[in-house]
Amino acid sequence: MTLTPNYNPLPVTLREGHGTTVTDVEGRDYLDFLAGYSAVNFGHSHPRLVEAVAEQAKRLTLVSRAFDHDLLMPFANALTELTQTEMMLPMNTGAEAVESAIKAARKWAYDVKGIEPYRAEIIAAEGSFHGRTTTIVSFSSDPDAKDGFGPYTPGFITCPYGDAGAIENAITENTAAILVEPIQGEAGVLIPPEDYLPRLRELADQHNVLLIVDEVQSGLGRTGYLLDQWRVGVKADLTTLGKALGGGVYPVSAVVGRADVLGCLTAGTHGSTFGGNPVACRIGLEVVELLKGDYLERATKLAPRLRERLEAMVEQNLLSGVRTVGLWAGVDVHPDLGLTGREVCERMLQCGVLAKDTHGASLRLAPPLVVTEEELERGLDGLEAALKGDLPS
């Protein structure tokens, strides 16, 4: 075995993907109800994205930030306009965007807020998922992600997710930022109380603390909003974007937000060889254009049907819990069925639908936003059949 065993994929080997459908090496088709954890929001091999990569690959692929290129400022302008922010910092992966936001917040805390070196604290939430770097796993509460990787980066405090009062109590004069997901994706699509993010916004304002919202998974259409924070009327100081920003064809991430915060990262203080490269910017520009289309409306329009079908499965005692926003759902397999999330996903695979378990008996559903009503029904038929054990022979 030459491959590091840090994943345990479902037993299927894919070779092609178009729209909502992926094909395995034997030629069997599956509906993709995971969509690369929302990276493939626009569907596999979107013609405009494929065209953009091919065209740009023939023109200019990498200059590093040692030189400028003709697409960097256009992408910065387009993304800040789309997200109604002042400044953007281009990176590659989601974890890098979060790391960059943490660095910007700390720099701001020392240079602007005047916290004593090196006392800055960042308050995060229990059950969060922000990536896999040593600093990020330092405040993870998932033993698989954290144990064995110490010594851990200090300067983080965690509070129960959804509890604004706990965060209020945790704020001190050394608090630089609050870092949360607007919905916890990896944890099983956990939706906090409606007033959670608005309360955090108020606390951040009251205490001169930054609010960093990680929208790597929730952002760019998944919940029917360009940024999920807009669903509850909140504007973060820094927002991290990733996954769908690269349209599922390329790693593209960014931090967008306040110029007086990101502006603390002056020349030489932070960087990335590939961040903001010409191919990434070309794809990012195309993604910004796509997001002006009807993807958000589609997510909103199909959302009630997704919820209705899943709630019917609760009534049939197939599921014990359902959480949905837009085209995103976390479901808990009913304990009476005695099935793990993994077993349900393996059965769904047999039914021609790909999904992924999260923790224990929970599953996450996130079909590409191009999913048709008929495909949505078919994918949910697959889940229902898997739960009932009605498997094809």
Catalytic residues: 129, 214, 243
The tokens 């796509």 sit on which residue? 290
Single out the residue of 19, 188, 221, 242 in contact with ligand PLP (rule: CB under 6 A).
Answer: 242
Rounded to a whole number of angstroms, the minimum distance from the CB of residue 316 to ligand PLP is 30
- How far is Cα 299 from Cα 369, in angstroms, rounded to an integer? 6
Which residues, 350 to 379, sit near ligand PLP by CB under 6 A?
none
Q: Which of 310, 327, 329, 386 is nearest to 352 (CA)?
A: 386
Shortest distance in whole angstroms from residue 240 CB to ligand PLP: 7
Residue 328 binding ligand PLP, by CB under 6 A? no
> 3-class SS at 179?
strand
Q: In this complex, which beta carbon is closest to ligand PLP, that of residue 36 or of residue 198?
A: 36
Site stretch for ligand PLP (CB under 6 A), options 141-149, 181-189, 220-228, 279-287 = 181-189
Question: For residues 389 and 91, what is the distance between their CA atoms, to the nearest angstrom?
Answer: 44
DSSP symbols for 225-261? SSSHHHHTT---SEEEE-GGGGTTTS--EEEEE-HHH
Q: How far is the CB of 159 from ligand PLP (least distance, A)?
A: 17
Token pair of 121 as six digits: 């604290």
Q: Is 214 in the site for ligand PLP (CB under 6 A)?
A: yes
Give the side-chain half-sphere CA count within 13 A for 34: 20
Cβ proximity to ligand PLP, 93 vs 318, nearer residue: 93
Among 93, 100, 135, 324, binds ligand PLP (CB under 6 A): 93
Q: How far is the CB of 266 from ligand PLP (least distance, A)?
A: 25
Stretch that binds ligand PLP, among 10-18, 88-96, 191-199, 274-282 (CB under 6 A): 88-96
CB of 26 to ligand PLP, least distance (A): 29
Q: Write a three-state SS string for 107-172.
A: HHHHHHHCCCCCCCEEEEECCCCCCCCHHHHCCCCCHHHHCCCCCCCCCEEEECCCCHHHHHHHCC
- Other CB atoms closer than 10 Å to residue 230's CB: what's the count? 17
Binding mask 119-158 for ligand PLP (x = CB under 6 A): ----------xxx---------------------------
Indicate the residue among 185 and 284 with the shorter CB distance to ligand PLP: 185
Which of residues 214 and 237 has its CB atom nearest to ligand PLP in the complex?
214
Residue facing ligand PLP at closest CB distance:
94
CA distance linking residue 334 with residue 8, whole number of Å = 23
The DSSP 8-state label assigned to residue 333 in this structure reads E
Of the candidate spans 53-61, 180-188, 300-308, 377-385, the one that interacts with ligand PLP by CB under 6 A turns out to be 180-188
Q: In what order do the strands lie in the sheet with 356-357?
A: 319-325, 328-333, 362-365, 356-357
Q: Which is nearer to ligand PLP, 131 or 368 (CB)?
A: 131
DSSP 335: G
- Residue 98 CB, shortest distance to ligand PLP, in Å, is 6
Residue 181 found at the interface with ligand PLP (CB under 6 A): yes
Largest CA distance in the chain: 67
**Which member of 94, 127, 224, 247 binds ligand PLP (CB under 6 A)?**
94
Task: Check binding of 275 to ligand PLP (CB under 6 A).
Answer: no
Half-sphere exposure of 49 (CA within 13 A, CB side): 26
Footprint on this chain of ligand PLP (rule: CB under 6 A): 37, 93-95, 98, 129-131, 181, 185-186, 214, 216-217, 242-243
